[in-house]
Amino acid sequence: MTSEEDLVAQLRAQDQRAVTLLYRNYSAALYGVILRIVKQEEVAEDVLQESFVKIWTAFPTYDEQKGRLFTWMLNISRNLAIDKIRSKQYRVGSKTQPMENTVTSHMVSSEGIKPDHIGIQEMTQQLNPDQKVIIDLMYFNGFTQSEVAEELNIPLGTVKTRARMAIKFLSKLIK
């Protein structure tokens, strides 16, 4: 298996084979997060494809000093998924979706693709409950910080502080 540093170096050199490695190593985890947000397999597949295109084209902006490659890719994918569910086309389409096309009817096929396979959700168990609920809502349910504040009925600044502290804690666990 290629180390993350080797993969980053290959991507910086615009080595096309690195994209295949990137996809093989991270697509299942990213797909799981995207699916939890958009709740439709077909839409999740589209967003995953858009994510990898954006990851490839935006890679020159990646700074390994600011965070791990997976975290950077997760943020891109999560943001694209949130953008998708906020789009008018998605909102109109999801209102007219037949019941058999909902994510619950496909749970069996997507059972094998979850972020817990790489241990992220296990790591969040170590957060204090106030931080954990915020991270769960933001990263696994696709809420924005404002939506979290509204949902939990707490100030936006509190959400931002707790999220920042949780991410700092999680980054120490990952290293």
As assigned by CATH, the class of the 115-174 domain is mainly alpha
pLDDT for position 78: 92
Give the pLDDT confidence of 72-87 residue by residue, as tens digits: 999 999 999 988 888 7
The residues spanned by each domain of the chain are: 4-94, 115-174
Residue 107 CA to residue 59 CA, distance in Å, equals 33
The number of residues in the chain equals 175
Q: What CATH architecture is 4-94?
A: Orthogonal Bundle (1.10)
Give the pLDDT confidence of 24-36 residue by residue, as tens digits: 889 999 999 999 8
Using the predicted structure, report yes or no on whether residue 161 has a pLDDT greater than 60: yes
Q: pTM score > 0.85 for this model?
A: no
Using the predicted structure, report yes or no on whether residue 70 has a pLDDT greater than 60: yes
Written as one string, the DSSP assignment of 22-64 is HHHHHHHHHHHHHHHHH--HHHHHHHHHHHHHHHHHHGGG--T
Q: At what angle do helices 145-152 and 156-174 cross, to 10 degrees?
A: 120
Give the pLDDT confidence of 5-18 residue by residue, as tens digits: 888 899 888 888 88
- Split at pLDDT 50, 70, 90, the class of 50 is very high
Class of residue 10 by CB neighbours under 10 A (exposed 0-12, middle 13-18, buried 19+) = middle
Using the predicted structure, report yes or no on whether residue 118 has a pLDDT greater than 60: no
